[in-house]
A and B are shown apart, each in its own frame.
Chain A
C-alpha cells in the first residue's frame, strides 16, 4: 500500500454515464469562460444529474458564480459545449432554456415596488391571472417566512430578508433547477434553520435540482450529497455522494464495494485498489473499476478501515468520489 500524493484526483473528472434513475440535466464539455486574458472557469467535463443536489465549494474567485450564471443560461461560455437535457445549448434555444433554470444571486436585487410585486413578477411575465398570481406569491412568501412583509417596499428589505425574498421569487418561476449563490449569507441563525429545512424539502420532496454555491458548513453537511469543488476556475474534486454506511470487502487486490445512500445510485462492483492514503482523521482509498474509472472512497472522522485477513470493513460515514 502506498500513499497517494494526488489524493485520488484524476485528470478525467467525469462522474460517469447517468443512469435511468438519475437522467443528466447538464453536461459540460471542454467549457471555458474567459474575460480578456483571464480564464475564470475551465470545466473540462462535468455532468450534473436531474433531481440531485450539488454543493459548489471552493474559495472566493474559484469560478462558482460564473458557473452558476452559465448554468442559468445568462452568460455564454467562451468555448466548449453545454448540453441541457441532452440537447446542445445554442443561442437559439437559450431563452427557452432559461425558463427551466433560475438563478438567485448572492446579493439579490429587489425590483422597485412591494415584496409582493417582486414575488409575483415571474408569474406576471408568464401571464398568470391576477388571482392565481397573488395566491401563489403569498404561498411562497409564507414558505420563506416573509408574509408579514408582503406590502413592504422590497428594496428596503434587510440583507437576510432580501436573500429569502429572492428564493421565494425564484421559486415562483416554477423552474426545475435552482441555482443558488450563497443562500444563507446574511441570514440570521433562526431564519437560517428554516431556510436549510426549506432547501432540504425542495430537494427531497419536490425533486428539484439544487446547485448551491456555499461556504456554509451546515448546508454542505445537510444538502451536499454531491459536491463540486472549484479552485481558480478548475474543477478540483467531484463528490458523488455521501453514503451513510456501506461495506467494502477485499480479496487480495480486488475490493467489493457496496454503498447505499438516499438519492445515490448504488455503487456495487469489484474494484482494484490503486492507493490507500491515511490522514489524521480520514483515510482515502483510491480504486479503479472495470471501465478504468477512478473512484475515491473517503473515510471520514471516526470511520475505521481495517484490512484484516483480506477483509476490508468500515464503519460510519464515507464519501465516495468517482473520477
Chain B
C-alpha cells in the first residue's frame, strides 16, 4: 500500500509492502498524523507553534521536553560540523533544518514496530527498510539538478537513509552560516547513511562548505556522498559506488 499526503508544505510518501488490514491502515494514519503534529508544534511559520512562542519569549515559554531534545541535537551537530550547521539566525532559533529528519526518524521507528518492508520519502529525503536476508533492495534515483524530471544516478539500498541538499528548487536557500552567503556551488549533494538525521544534517553542513564538503564527508565514518557541481561534474566519496546500480 502506498499513499502521498502534503504535510509540512511537502509531499510525504509512504509505501509499506504488506497485505492490507486494519493495522496497516492504522499505521499509515499514525505516521501522517505524526507529521501533522510535528508541523503544528515546530513550524516557524505558525505563530502558535512551540518554536514561535519560544522565540517570542524563551523565559515565559519554557521549551517542552521534545523541543529540548531537538535543540540539544541541533547544538550537538553544530559542534560536529564546526558551525556549518546552525539554527541561530540573527537571534532567532529555527531548528527546521533538523525537524524534518527528526520527524522522519521517529516515523521510521513507528513503522518498524510492525513492518520491515517499506520506504518513507519526505520532500526528497528517504528512509528504506527491507527484511533481514531479503534479496531485494530499494532503488533510489538522484534527481538531476539541471533537469528535474531526470535522474543521474541510481542508488541501491536495503536499509538506511538518503538525503539530498540543493539550492536548485525554488525557495531553497542554503547559505554558509560562517559568511552568510548563499551557496552557489555545489548544486546538489546526496548523502547515504544509516540514520536520516545524520545523512540530512551532514548533507546540509557539507553543502554549506562548498565544493570541499565532499572531502569533509570522505573523512567521516558511515557516510557516502555524491556531489554535483555547476559544471555538471560529479565527485563521489571512495565507497559510494558500492551503493550504485
User: Real complex partners, A and B?
Assistant: no
- A-to-B contact residues, CB < 8 Å: none
